[in-house]
Chain A
């Protein structure tokens, strides 16, 4: 066997070709990258799109993005881990984001969080073992006028209490 063919570079190229052929989402990502003309400063925009498509940023996606934008893989990883919004781990089917901004905090967001943590047996930032629920916190979602606010699967819900929060998440996980 020709050793040249086995160089890491060729292996990576072959892997990307395979991914593009077998997974439609890579095609969409490729189109998105083209829209930005492969510009390196579009990295964050591209990662947003990738996370939207894949739900999280798996290694192959990061490698593919790095190659397409002509950036070192370590740089892409550094950026992906700097921002809270990006996640490298698969997320649960449902998610619950408790706002821990000041206004929500002074109105008892900590108690809501504690109640959900206790009921679902996970800590903020974790996903239940059955992959049903990911519990997250946010640093102010700008909904202070209706504090305390919780976001269930993307829907901002006003004036929550530990009871209303539990009623909602118990539809997803059995306590």
Chain B
């Protein structure tokens, strides 16, 4: 493959485009509501109407408004059909000819769509994730060409530093800095790992990206490999995402066939291979050192850092490990320029962030907004607020490591620092909206149970501490706890946070701490009098 071949592929793909495209979501969410049947019937209806030459029915990735699936969108009319059933197919075809038909539609010009700024999701819902040509037609692999043929590895590193991109896996570590460390670390072999374990309950951003635009991840990884000097990559994907795994496998196969992956990429001496490793149901394997142990075929237990993976990682070699979304940002940054990217977002948090909106909210689905967008814009304008006129009570971000942000702080801009200040974290991007019916102590218990079940058991504070904290929360909810128990809970939170080995234990108290901070009265309401309390002396008159 050369630049010419790439452009030819693109031209050929564009030349075969038909006047009208019916995009049909074939991501996991809609497939569960029979999107495959919808697509089949659409193809049939097109044939029956004799429109094969004018209309293309294209299976695409997630179209973002997952709660209304299956979704079908027509180009160029932009009409967006929701809750489509296979029986609706003839009506959709009829509508193409201008007929007014009674089909459920969503407004593609509603804030849910217009407030989005797609970089990572730019191809999501537009291209066919199972065809590399579709990706190439959207300027795919152009950035890889530029990187390998026209840039030195250090230029790529420079660009990553200047872009200001920070890791999207949770901690927000500067990506350029990490790449630089791996590039500098001495080692005969180096590895690049894509963390697609997405274990946070309530998060499905990475899944959607993998299912909708797998080549973007591959391209980002190859560029990273070139920049840091690695020739082997691994994608660690959780077993719960079979569709993502199939599409990744297909994508790897196609990229290899075109010489965009494997030996001699773009006819240069650069080699890079990618293998998929499938997780087996352990949340802690999202933690980078545990993930590497798992790739090595071991029990997924974390180990103390330092040494950091960038110095000593997989098979004891320097290893670059980044999140799916982080890699998805790489090609757009190189293609559209560092200045363009650095111009989006806030001073310290550049670019956009993808969130998975779920819970008690009108519009559940995927959104991508510039960093610094106020929470209120996200949940009220875009999300449409709580369903059935309910009132939003809190927004949970960061999953079991995060916290609950109460409604009075909805004007907080969403960036790494602001969320941390509120005792939550950006996390990977799960955003669960809770309404008035949600009991915060129960939410805290829910997350503590999660951490207790998912603790690897290696270190004492997390293994035994989560059990005790969970026990205290259960006691509270059963109205069997007193003020001393609550004090003990707080003391344990502090201890587990400061002494646990890995991020799982260190952040497991966060949901309790943040609900205690903003909803303390809900805890206190449950307290019983302490039988052993020293009686307070009555105040002097």
A residues sitting closer than 8 Å to B (CB atoms) are 39-45, 47-48, 75, 78-79, 82-86, 100-103, 105-107, 138-147, 149, 155-158
Tell me how far the C-beta of A142 lies from the nearest C-beta in chain B, rounded to whole angstroms: 4
**Cβ contact of A103, chosen from B201, B241, B294, cutoff 8 A:** B201
A-B contact count (CB 8 A): 138
Other A-B contacts than A84-B282, A139-B281, 7 sampled, CB-CB below 8 A, are: A42-B297, A103-B202, A106-B434, A106-B438, A107-B359, A145-B29, A145-B366
Residues of chain B from 390 to 405 with CB closer than 8 A to chain A in the complex: 396, 399
Q: Residue on A with the closest CB to B298?
A: A79
**Cβ contact of B280, chosen from A42, A48, A138, A145, cutoff 8 A:** A48
Q: Contacts A79-B298, A84-B282; is A146 near B33 (CB within 8 Å)?
A: yes
Question: How far is it, in angstroms, between the C-alpha of A79 and the C-alpha of B358 when the chains are bound?
Answer: 33
Contacts of B277 in A (CB 8 A): 44-45
Q: Contacts A103-B359, A106-B360, A142-B198; is A82 near B29 (CB within 8 Å)?
A: no
The 3 closest A-B pairs by CB, nearest first: A145-B66, A84-B281, A83-B280
Of A85, A103, A141, chain B has the most CB atoms within 10 Å of the CB of A103
Contacts of A142 in B (CB 8 A): 28, 198, 203-204, 207, 240-241
Question: How far is it, in angstroms, between the C-alpha of A44 and the C-alpha of B298 when the chains are bound?
Answer: 8
Contacts of A48 in B (CB 8 A): 239, 278, 280
Q: Do the beta carbons of B33 and A102 come within 8 Å of each other?
A: no
Question: How far is it, in angstroms, between the C-alpha of A44 and the C-alpha of B285 when the chains are bound?
Answer: 13
Contacts of B352 in A (CB 8 A): none
Question: How far is it, in angstroms, between the C-alpha of A45 and the C-alpha of B234 when the chains are bound?
Answer: 13
Question: How far is it, in angstroms, between the C-alpha of A19 and the C-alpha of B481 when the chains are bound?
Answer: 57
Contacts of A143 in B (CB 8 A): 28-29, 32, 204
Contacts of B360 in A (CB 8 A): 106-107
Question: How far is it, in angstroms, between the C-alpha of A142 and the C-alpha of B239 when the chains are bound?
Answer: 11
**Cβ contact of A140, chosen from B66, B203, B296, B434, cutoff 8 A:** B203
B residues sitting closer than 8 Å to A (CB atoms) are 28-29, 31-33, 66-67, 69, 198-204, 207, 239-241, 277-283, 294-301, 315, 356, 358-360, 364-366, 396, 399, 430, 432, 434, 438, 446-447, 450, 453-454, 456
**Cβ contact of A82, chosen from B202, B207, B300, cutoff 8 A:** B300
Question: How far is it, in angstroms, between the C-alpha of A119 and the C-alpha of B203 when the chains are bound?
Answer: 31
Contacts of B299 in A (CB 8 A): 78-79, 82
Contacts of A141 in B (CB 8 A): 240
Contacts of A146 in B (CB 8 A): 29, 32-33, 66-67, 69, 364
**Cβ contact of B239, chosen from A78, A85, A100, A144, cutoff 8 A:** A85
Q: Residue on A with the closest CB to B438?
A: A106
Q: Do the beta carbons of A102 and B32 come within 8 Å of each other?
A: no
Question: How far is it, in angstroms, between the C-alpha of A82 and the C-alpha of B203 when the chains are bound?
Answer: 23
Contacts of B31 in A (CB 8 A): 156
Question: How far is it, in angstroms, between the C-alpha of A83 and the C-alpha of B277 when the chains are bound?
Answer: 14
Question: How far is it, in angstroms, between the C-alpha of A155 and the C-alpha of B32 when the chains are bound?
Answer: 7
Contacts of B32 in A (CB 8 A): 143, 146, 149, 155-158
Q: Do the beta carbons of A106 and B432 come within 8 Å of each other?
A: yes
Contacts of A85 in B (CB 8 A): 239, 279-281
Tell me how far the C-beta of A143 lies from the nearest C-beta in chain B, rounded to whole angstroms: 6
Contacts of B279 in A (CB 8 A): 83, 85
Tell me how far the C-beta of B48 lies from the nearest C-beta in chain A, rounded to whole angstroms: 29
Tell me how far the C-beta of A155 lies from the nearest C-beta in chain B, rounded to whole angstroms: 7
Question: How far is it, in angstroms, between the C-alpha of A66 and the C-alpha of B315 when the chains are bound?
Answer: 20
**Cβ contact of B450, chosen from A75, A139, A145, cutoff 8 A:** A139
Q: Residue on A with the closest CB to B437?
A: A106
Contacts of B28 in A (CB 8 A): 142-143, 156
Q: Residue on A with the closest CB to B32?
A: A156
